[in-house]
Amino acid sequence: MKVLAIMGSPRKGNSYKLTQLIEEELKSRGEIDFEYLFLKDTPLANCLGCHLCIKKGENFCPLSDDRDLVLAKMAGADGVIFVSPVYMFTITALMKNFVDHLAFLVHRPVFFKKPAMIFIHRGDMFKESIRYMERVARSWGFSVVARLGIPDPDDMTPKSRDKSLKKLKTETEKFFRVLKSGKLPSPSLYDLIAFRVWKINALALEKDFPADYQYWVEHKLFDKDYYYDAPINPLKKVVARLLEPVVRMFLRRTFRGY
Ligand SMILES: Cc1cc2nc3c(=O)[nH]c(=O)nc-3n(C[C@H](O)[C@H](O)[C@H](O)COP(=O)(O)O)c2cc1C
């Protein structure tokens, strides 16, 4: 099984040292091919804000860098770990630039059926950074099955060090179990409603966002309940269906074009 760790620190420092512990834990459980993708060594230009990737399609991005290589690595992995230390209360600028560069994926997610783990070093004190990265990964299609936020064990008292390392083991175990079984949690009500919001967008904004509309047509999504066939709780399915006109009404009241 191939695991890709996307590293957001500008150095091979503490978050790298801790990710190596995750690597060791994973390898002690099974055959794992573990690859690091250091954003600090990966040419990814700053997003220009032109919206072309979102509106017309990712091939219209005027930047020329390693974006497609990064996407290919993510597509080739069975599971992805997003790693960032906390810099000024949140993820690093490198990680944020990576997220912005792939913003079109929130409109047209592709990483379904792939488990993800979020590791924010010092995220124990900055839980919103973990929540943020989880939101990003989910919006790209990943199923976030493990979340870790710990400081550097070398800075800690023996008791809190043990607690952190135990947490590292249990979250890694969760990630490993899903990797191995291939069994992902079924979509939540939030996921089902988000699906319908994007459907409304694709239909309403066909002219302004042709890439989204094309994606929905190509993937034959308009008549579906979710992006892929998955066991869905029938009650959640009904609630999401009933909420669709309510969401549309809200959007109509607030924005033009709906
Ligand atoms: C520019 C900068 C900003 C930082 N901001 C925070 C912060 O807001 N909160 C915090 O707990 N630690 C902060 N830190 C400390 C780092 O999170 C900590 O040193 C971490 O171990 C660095 O991980 P790394 O070696 O993988 O980059 C900051 C460090 C730097 C360099």
Strand partners, 2: 33
CA distance linking residue 116 with residue 148, whole number of Å: 11
Q: For 116, list phi and psi in degrees, rounded to 5.
A: -130, 150
Pocket of ligand 1 (CB under 6 A): 9, 11, 13-16, 85-89, 121-122, 125, 152
Per-residue confidence (pLDDT) for residue 33, from 0 to 100: 98
Q: Best mutation site among 12, 21, 87, 96 for ligand 1, i.e. most ligand atoms within 8 A of its Cβ?
A: 87
- Region(s) of the chain under CATH 3.40.50.360: 2-181
- For residue range 113-128, what is the model confidence (pLDDT) as tens digits? 899 999 999 988 899 9
The residue nearest atom 4 of ligand 1, judged by CA position, is 87
CA of 92 relative to ligand 1 center, distance in Å = 9
Local confidence band at 145 (pLDDT 50, 70, 90 cut-offs): very high
Mean pLDDT for the chain overall? 95
Three-state SS for 219?
coil
Q: For 3, list phi and psi in degrees, rounded to 5.
A: -120, 130
- For residue range 31-63, what is the model confidence (pLDDT) as tens digits? 999 999 999 999 999 999 999 999 999 999 999
Local confidence band at 157 (pLDDT 50, 70, 90 cut-offs): very high
On whether the pTM is more than 0.75, the answer is yes
Per-residue confidence (pLDDT) for residue 253, from 0 to 100: 92
**CB within 8 Å of 94: residues ≥ 6 apart:** 8, 9, 10, 39, 40, 84
Q: For residue 193, how many C-alpha atoms fall within 13 Å in the half-sphere facing its CB? A: 12
- For residue range 219-233, what is the model confidence (pLDDT) as tens digits? 999 999 999 988 999
pLDDT at 153 over 90: no
CA distance linking residue 14 with residue 76, whole number of Å: 27
- Tokens 């089902």 belong to which residue? 192
Q: Enter the tokens of residue 173.
A: 């175990």
Are β-strands 2-7 and 33-38 bridged in parallel, bridged antiparallel, or unpaired? parallel
Per-residue confidence (pLDDT) for residue 111, from 0 to 100: 97
Q: For 46, list phi and psi in degrees, rounded to 5.
A: -70, 135
**CB within 8 Å of 234: residues ≥ 6 apart:** none
CA of 150 relative to ligand 1 center, distance in Å = 12
Could you tell me the CA-to-CA distances from 182 to 6, 114, 116, 256 in Å, in that order?
21, 8, 12, 42
Atom of ligand 1 nearest to the CA of 86: 17
**Span 2-181: which CATH code?**
3.40.50.360
Could you tell me the CA-to-CA distances from 181 to 28, 37, 91, 114, 238 in Å, in that order?
17, 25, 30, 12, 29
CB of 163 within 8 A of CB of 187? no
